[in-house]
Amino acid sequence: MTSQVRAAPNQDQFAAETDRFRRELLAHCYRMVGSAHDAEDLVQETYLRAWRSYAGFEGRASIRSWLYKIATNVCLTASKPRPIRMLPSGLTGPYDGPDRPPIPVPAGEVSWLEPLPDTWIAPQADDPAAVVVGRESLRLALIASLQHLSSRQRAILLLRDVLAFSAAETAQILDTTTAAVKSGLQRARARLDDLKLDLEPAELLEPTDQRARALLDGYIAAFERSDADLLEQVLRSDATLEATPFRDWQAGRVMCIHILDAYVLGTPGDWRMIPTTANAQPAAAVYHRDPAGVLRADGVVVLTATTTGVSQVIKFHDPTLVATFGFPKVLSR
């Protein structure tokens, strides 16, 4: 390919060539850092750096790989001073001690993983040429498992196994050798194998599947009616329940229902949930009624729906996430 330095940067031309990759770059940054808010900031930084160097882009690589090079290095730089983001199940085993309400981890002690609204990475309806982000590569199980890798191993695994860049392309993006890429990929895969995580269970349901929506509706009804018996119909016998910012998490339907019934469900009307999707999974924006009777944003819950029921419930106790998903802070009814 003949290289040609651009005479001068042109904002319209830059937008025409780069904007169509924004959604997939957002997904890539999210996979790298595990935070929707951080990913959004990193994409902004990526485009700022791309614009600054756009005049010198010589076309030796595609616009897409050039942007991924910038985005990946932005993420690697940002990851150095930041602690990795975790879920409770990444900290310890399931709680099996004396019966007690979950105890929150002190603020600042752990950086928690965040869910990603599917609307952030969905292609625009009027843009058939937009690249569709692989939904399976955004599921919370994978995002959580990636946190166990070093940031560089994470980048190599994502570039090779998720984005299907060649070893040579990946080496160019990371300014390293092909041999280093192959070695890093081998170590990353081995580390994930050691974790023995079932990242893509065969019985997993897409959130658009009617069975997945029925499970979500059942979970929502159980909370809004304060009906533990409904949870019995929704959760699998081996279901797990975890919630940030609590260290304790539960394994098994009996334990999950006990904790929810004893300490969470309350009375009918205490909870209101609005269906949505996150990380290619059924989800809901959660509201809780305060002492004054006002339904205020409480967080987001994400379900892993399978053909035999809900296998995992993750509740993110962060009221700001509700606005991130496009819902109001307070419900009028």
The fraction of the chain above a pLDDT of 90, given in percent, is 75
**Among 134-143, 176-185, 318-327, whose mean pLDDT is lowest?**
134-143
Say whether pLDDT at 133 is over 70. no
Give domain status of residue 203, yes or no.
Answer: no
| CATH number, position 191 | 1.10.10.10
Tell me: do 109 and 243 sit in the same domain.
no
Give domain status of residue 283, yes or no.
Answer: yes
**Total Cβ atoms within 10 A of residue 148:** 17
Average pLDDT over residues 20-36: 95
Give pLDDT, residue 132. 52
Average pLDDT over residues 166-171: 96
Q: What is the 3-state secondary structure (H, E, C) of the chain?
A: CCCCCCCCCCHHHHHHHHHHHHHHHHHHHHHHHCCHHHHHHHHHHHHHHHHHHHHHCCCCCCHHHHHHHHHHHHHHHHHCCCCCEECHHHCCCCCCCCCCCCCECCCCCCEECCCCEHHHCCCCCCCCCCCCCCHHHHCHHHHHHHCCCCHHHHHHHHHHHHCCCCHHHHHHHHCCCHHHHHHHHHHHHHHHHHHCCCCCCCCECCCCCHHHHHHHHHHHHHHHCCCHHHHHHHEEEEEEEEEECECCCEECHHHHHHHHHHHCCCCCCCEEEEEEEECCEEEEEEEEECCCCCEEEEEEEEEEEECCEEEEEEEECCCHHHHHCCCCCEECC
Number of separate domains in the chain:
2
* Residue range 65-105, pLDDT digits in tens: 999 999 999 999 998 877 889 999 999 899 988 899 888 99
Give pLDDT, residue 129. 46
* Residue range 237-287, pLDDT digits in tens: 999 999 999 999 999 999 999 999 999 999 999 999 999 999 999 999 999
Tell me: do 235 and 299 sit in the same domain.
yes
Tell me: do 26 and 147 sit in the same domain.
yes
| CATH number, position 233 | 3.10.450.50
Tell me: do 52 and 184 sit in the same domain.
yes
Give domain status of residue 4, yes or no.
Answer: no
State pTM to two decimals. Answer: 0.91
Per the structure, the complete domain to which residue 37 belongs is given by 11-195
